[in-house]
Amino acid sequence: MRKIFSLILVFLLAFPITACGQNRAGETGTAGGIETIPATDTIEAVQETGTAPDDTGSEPVAEEETIAKAEFDFERRTVMLNSGYEMPVNGLGTYSLHGDECINAVKSALLNGVRLIDTASAYGNEEEIGQAVRKAINEGIIQREDIFVATKIYPGSEMENPVQSIQACLDRLDIGYVDLMLLHHPDPNDVEAYKAMEQFVEEGKIRSIGLPDWYVEELTEFLPQVDTVPAVVQNEIHPYYQESDVIPFIQDLGIVVQGWYPLGGRGHTGDLLGDSVITEIAVAHGVSSAQVILRWNLQKGVVVIPGSSNPDHIRKNTEVYHFSLTEDEMARIGALDRGEKHDWY
Ligand SMILES: NC(=O)c1ccc[n+]([C@@H]2O[C@H](COP(=O)([O-])OP(=O)(O)OC[C@H]3O[C@@H](n4cnc5c(N)ncnc54)[C@H](OP(=O)(O)O)[C@@H]3O)[C@@H](O)[C@H]2O)c1
């Protein structure tokens, strides 16, 4: 059976669907969908080979253990998740945005073609985001199926009562279903909270599930305890904190990596955007430092969700597909890694 699941998964990843978030790959108008590789099998496959199936120097991986690494589709600006849903690869982060500022930022993003919005219960702005999305739908700017909304439940009391907390996110957003629900950080109740998310997926109220701030050790311990491989892991990633060992580990599990604080995070952007290596590369391409950093992430297979309330920044953050960084430029940015984490989690 696992062989069949793997083959189906490989097939689906090779032939992206044509409407973002609209259809689950493999759906034929019936109840059919793909079945995911069990999480236990996935971590075992990576542990057995110790490396990615396409890494050089490794023994060929047995067919039934093959895990397809998700590739970005730069034409469609999307990636196919292991859940069978397509996710945009550049979005809008909404941490610290509230009220009209948040609503206007989402509106500006939608008008500029952004189709991925990242929020969280802890950000206290799910209602505003739901309001902005519903308004855009009512005004004919988007259809619900065009947009991919991600939210998170927080450790502590929310994860102690995951069913109520997840339902509360759905109620606050009020957009029918949530495209991606994540557990905000590891927590003593994270396995139970994850199982609650799996249940909501069964019920069709959530489409994909994920884990932010899970690294190699956390994933190795966590995955054997759950049935579904997360579709997304969201971690801090920027040129000063590159996670060069963690990113391939996650990607080799068939999980898409999303980077938070892509520009270093509020309060830290000055150093990064003013870095002489980044600015030199920016001048060479006639783009901004932010665009160089976002493009660097995308070329590493990392989804970006820069936060902004500035319409000009929001627009420019989408204009990262008309140029590409050379191998040498990627390596120069790679050499900037300082292991400098800008937040504790
Ligand atoms: N899972 C987690 O634990 C976690 C943790 C932190 C964050 N996140 C998510 O990741 C998202 C991104 O993080 P973040 O917003 O804190 O940090 P960020 O994206 O690294 O940086 C945001 C800062 O960059 C500025 N900026 C954005 N675009 C710019 C551009 N083109 N040129 C110059 N400056 C620009 C913004 O200012 P303006 O508003 O003036 O543009 C803002 O001050 C968050 O919004 C949140 O959704 C997740």
Q: What is the pLDDT of residues 302-316, one digit of tens each?
A: 999 999 999 999 999
230 Cβ partners below 8 Å, 6+ apart? 39, 209, 210, 211, 214, 255
Tell the residue number behind the tokens 């199926």, with chain if given. 145
CA–CA separation, 130 vs 163, rounded Å? 20
Q: Of 85, 123, 194, 261, which is the active-site residue?
A: 123
Name the residue with the closest Cα to ligand 1, atom 25. 308
Mean pLDDT is lowest, of 5-9, 96-100, 229-233, 321-325, for 5-9
Instruction: Identify whether 123 is a catalytic site residue.
Output: yes
Rounded distance from Cα 55 to ligand 1 centre (Å): 33
186 CB near ligand 1 (under 6 Å) = no
- Residue 299: predicted pLDDT: 98
What torsion, rounded to 10 degrees, do the Cα atoms 97, 100, 101, 104 define? 110
Taking 3-state DSSP, the helix, strand and coil percentages for the chain, each rounded to the nearest 5, stand at 40, 15, 45
- Residue 292: predicted pLDDT: 98
Name the residue with the closest Cα to ligand 1, atom 48. 260
Architecture of domain 72-334: Alpha-Beta Barrel (3.20)
260 CB near ligand 1 (under 6 Å) = yes
Output the six-digit token pair for 50.
């110790």
289 CB near ligand 1 (under 6 Å) = no
Mean pLDDT is lowest, of 20-24, 159-163, 209-213, for 20-24
The residue ranking higher by pLDDT, 107 or 58, is: 107
pLDDT bracket for residue 127 (50, 70, 90): very high
Please count the residues of the chain.
345
7 Cβ partners below 8 Å, 6+ apart? 63
305 CB near ligand 1 (under 6 Å) = yes
Rounded distance from Cα 61 to ligand 1 centre (Å): 39
340 Cβ partners below 8 Å, 6+ apart? 240, 241
234 CB near ligand 1 (under 6 Å) = yes
**Average of per-residue pLDDT values in the chain:** 87
The residue ranking higher by pLDDT, 267 or 100, is: 100
297 CB near ligand 1 (under 6 Å) = no
**Which atom from ligand 1 is nearest to the alpha carbon of 345?**
3
Q: 261-298, pLDDT tens digit by residue?
A: 999 998 899 999 999 999 999 999 999 999 999 999 99
Tell me which residue of 186, 102, 176, 108 sits closest to 145, measured CA to CA.
Answer: 176
Rounded distance from Cα 164 to ligand 1 centre (Å): 29
- Residue 64: predicted pLDDT: 55
Compute the average pLDDT of residues 326-333: 98
pLDDT over 90 percentage in the chain: 78
Report angle CA 40, 42, 44 to the nearest 5 degrees.
70
**Cα→Cα distances 293→117, 162, 229, 261, Å:** 19, 36, 29, 11
CA–CA separation, 274 vs 269, rounded Å? 8
Does pLDDT of 37 surpass 90?
Answer: no
Rounded distance from Cα 261 to ligand 1 centre (Å): 6
pLDDT bracket for residue 52 (50, 70, 90): very low
Asked if 258 and 285 count as a contact pair (C-beta separation under 8 A), the reply is no
290 CB near ligand 1 (under 6 Å) = yes
